[in-house]
Amino acid sequence: MRQAGRSLPEYRALRERHGFFELAGTPELCAEVTLQPVRRHDVDAAVLFADIMTPVLAMGIGVDLVEGIGPMVESPIRTAADVKRLRPGEPPAETLEALRIVRAELAADRALVGFCGAPFTVACYLVEGRSSRDFLAAKELMYREPEVWHTLLGTLADAFSGYVRAQVDAGADLIQLFDSWAGILSPADYEEFAAPYSRRVLEAVPAPTVHFGTGTAGLLTQMRDAGGDVIGLDWRVALDRAWTTVGSDRGVQGNLDPAVLLAPWEQVAGATRDVLRRAGGRPGHVFNLGHGVLPQTDPDTLTRLAAFVHEQTS
């Protein structure tokens, strides 16, 4: 039976008991966690409860998510032989079933956002073996053995292309490609070592797309050229200036600093007004945080923020 009405603390307890991938891999529970922010905060879209490493599990890669650390890869990918051992992998059936459940329960006027990591960011984790400030092991492989790097990213891009298509077939209205670590690259390196593979995934999506990265103020032109109907902006760049760089033919998403939500409400409201002021009421702005919600954020503040944005933009 479908489980409904669980609180966020209960789901945190479930994650601690079962692990992220078990929770995300149980369609009924994954669907419930995906729907919960819509029910609790009255936001305009449900975002698939998944991780950027979800599709690589089907490729024969052992990954665990460790609280406070992030993805931990059992056997990092460092050689051509390692890359050859990767299996093509099928889109996770459990994730697709969760999307079908959500689409059936979600109101018609609420969007269902699918989710996929960009090949560059996923490759950084696979080579490094865990999170890092600079991903030097990944960049060393990229520079020293570019053929191995390109083969790895091509393999990931092919697998992820099938994954995003399957998400749309299962009910996702749009796909967000999440490139957490693109900002460690120079513009030239991004164009050579990352952009072709993000482009391949984005072009495979038979639906609108959001192309998001962090620390990418210097890469906005390159990200735009790689693809995406909407370009995500983090809080390190002024939204109006970034939109000028991205161009009027694209939408933008963002870009309130998640840490602002830890401040008194007056400061939250002021920072939100500033984002909306910079957007200027132009069609194509999707108000959002510049990154994920911090764990210590009061859920009531999120509810109040969603209501405030609706009020300011109605």
pLDDT digits (tens, 9 = 90+) for 183-205: 999 999 999 999 999 999 999 99
Give the model's confidence band at 12: pLDDT under 50 very low, under 70 low, under 90 confident, else very high.
Answer: low
DSSP codes of every residue in 7-22: -HHHHHHHHHHH-HHH
Look at residue 4 and tell me whether its pLDDT is greater than 50: no
8-232 maps to CATH 3.40.50.620: no
Look at residue 290 and tell me whether its pLDDT is greater than 70: yes
Under 8 Å between Cβ of 275 and 258: no
Instruction: Tell me the average pLDDT across 221-243.
Output: 98
CA atoms lying within 13 Å on the CB side of residue 192: 11
Q: How far apart are CA 126 and CA 78, in angstroms?
A: 8
Residue reference for tokens 């959001």? 210
Q: Which of 24-28, 201-205, 297-301, 310-314 has the lowest mean pLDDT?
A: 24-28
Look at residue 8 and tell me whether its pLDDT is greater than 80: no
57: how many CB neighbours lie within 10 A of its CB?
15
**What is the average pLDDT value for the chain, to the nearest integer?**
92
Give the model's confidence band at 21: pLDDT under 50 very low, under 70 low, under 90 confident, else very high.
Answer: confident
Look at residue 257 and tell me whether its pLDDT is greater than 80: yes
Tell me the backbone φ, ψ of residue 263, rounded to 5 degrees: -85, 170
Beta carbons within 8 Å of 259's beta carbon, 6+ residues apart: 294
- Within the chain, all domains assigned CATH 3.20.20.210 are found at 8-232
Q: Which two tokens stand for residue 269?
A: 């409201």
For residue 19, what pLDDT is reported? 63
User: Which residues carry out catalysis?
Assistant: 2, 6, 15, 51, 125
- DSSP helix, strand, coil percent of the chain (3-state; round to 5): 55, 15, 30
Overall size of the chain counted in residues: 314
Q: Is the dihedral of CA 168, 172, 173, 174 positive or negative?
A: negative
pLDDT digits (tens, 9 = 90+) for 72-110: 899 999 999 999 999 888 899 999 999 999 999 999 999
Element (H, E) at 128: helix 119-128
Q: State yes or no: cis peptide before 288, omega within 30 of 0.
A: no
pLDDT digits (tens, 9 = 90+) for 46-56: 999 988 999 99
> Which of 292, 290, 283, 287 has the alpha carbon at shortest distance from 305?
287
Residue reference for tokens 């099928």? 90
